[in-house]
């Protein structure tokens, strides 16, 4: 299998797993496309993407266009004569001019079982919805948003207490495994492309910080899923006395009905808050600029019972 026939486009850790798997399997891309270096972290220092770092360490050429609509980058990709472009969490739209270049097209490593959860945040959406399973889909890319035919898929169960961070890591590894299993058939065009049923499609839009604000008018089960879905980012939060506090761990409990958001009790077992259905025991929280602490430790620092969270 000629390495020169493959290009890889990806940016974050999720994509890195697929690139590493391809490399270890001997399917080394002729070049890697990744997002331009951008400020990251608390210090906002300009940082290279995980995919770029790996590529440079392994002497794989790196291309970092601001857009793929530029004629020069289209020409550069064309000159590489790729048989296949693998895309995983790249972050730039591929215009039709690029989609048309490889003989075997462009294949996306997508973190859901399409057509469920097309879009930018399928992992969080699956947890929020209470889905029992999710998985990886290898999809033939077309102009629509994650609407192309399915070439292969692999499913995994979602743990009852699993966070988006933990599920992300398992799906990233699964994506690499499935890609390596199918790369030969992808390059040879041997996989059947099965059209998606658009009537079954659901969408997971980009996450905004305000999406992670806890809505106490939901059930305790729904709020618990919200907390898991937004761990590690942006972190589910609530307001207490004007202070925005993040909640990292909580569990539904049987509790007396109260006005949603009202603290029913606070002590060594945590902080129990009334919801629209049942109650939620907060067990790990974080105040702005502080470390994470147990809710019991927080409860020991101030009088909380009867106060209302927003």
- Residue 276 vs residue 166, higher pLDDT: 166
CA angle 91, 96, 98 (to 5 degrees): 70
CATH architecture of residue range(s) 3-204: 3-Layer(aba) Sandwich (3.40)
189 three-state secondary structure: coil
Q: Work out the average pLDDT over 150-159.
A: 98
Per-residue pLDDT, 1 = 42
Span 89-128, pLDDT tens digits = 999 999 999 999 999 999 999 999 999 999 999 999 999 9
Domain 209-299: which CATH number of 3.10.25.10, 3.90.1150.10, 3.40.50.620, 2.120.10.30? 3.10.25.10
- Binned at pLDDT 50, 70 and 90, residue 4 comes out as very low
Mean pLDDT over 42-50 rounds to: 86
Asked if residue 236 lies in contact with residue 246, where contact means CB atoms within 8 angstroms, the answer is: yes
For the whole model, what pTM was predicted? 0.95
Q: What is the per-residue pLDDT across 201-214, written as a single tens digit (0 to 9) for each?
A: 999 999 999 999 99
Tell me what pLDDT residue 43 has: 74
Cβ burial of 69 (10 Å; 0-12, 13-18, 19+) is: middle
Report the pLDDT averaged over residues 68-83. 95
Q: What residue segments make up the domains of the chain, in order of their start?
A: 3-204, 209-299
Return phi, psi of residue 30, to 5°: -70, -30
Asked if pLDDT for residue 6 goes beyond 60, the answer is: yes
d(CA 216, CA 8): 43
């Amino acid at each position: 299998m000629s390495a020169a026939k493959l290009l890889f486009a990806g940016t974050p850790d999720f994509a890195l797993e697929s690139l590493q798997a391809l490399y270890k399997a001997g399917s080394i891309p002729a070049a890697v496309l990744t997002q331009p270096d951008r400020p990251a972290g608390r210090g906002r220092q300009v940082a290279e993407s995980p995919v770029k770092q790996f590529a440079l360490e392994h002497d794989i050429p790196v291309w970092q266009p601001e857009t793929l609509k530029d004629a020069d980058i289209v020409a550069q990709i064309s000159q590489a004569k790729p048989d296949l472009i693998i895309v995983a969490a790249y972050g730039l739209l591929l215009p039709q001019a690029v989609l048309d270049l490889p003989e075997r097209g462009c294949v996306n490593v997508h973190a859901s079982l399409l057509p469920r959860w097309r879009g930018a945040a399928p992992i969080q959406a699956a947890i929020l919805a209470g889905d029992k399973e999710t998985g990886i889909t290898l999809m033939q890319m077309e102009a629509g948003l994650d609407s192309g035919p399915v070439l292969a898929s692999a499913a995994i169960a979602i743990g009852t207490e699993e966070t988006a961070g933990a599920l992300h890591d398992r799906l990233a590894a699964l994506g690499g495994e499935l890609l390596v299993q199918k790369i030969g058939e992808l390059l040879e065009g041997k996989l059947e492309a099965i059209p998606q049923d658009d009537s079954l499609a659901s969408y997971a839009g980009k996450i905004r910080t305000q999406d992670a604000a806890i809505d106490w008018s939901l059930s305790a089960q729904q709020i618990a899923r919200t907390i898991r879905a937004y761990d590690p980012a942006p972190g589910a939060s609530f307001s207490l006395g004007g202070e925005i506090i993040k909640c990292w761990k909580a569990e539904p409990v049987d509790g007396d009905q109260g006005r949603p958001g009202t603290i029913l009790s606070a002590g060594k077992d945590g902080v129990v808050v009334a919801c629209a259905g049942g109650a939620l025991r907060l067990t790990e929280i974080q105040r702005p600029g502080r470390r994470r602490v147990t809710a019991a430790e927080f409860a020991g620092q101030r009088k909380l019972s009867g106060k209302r969270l927003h």
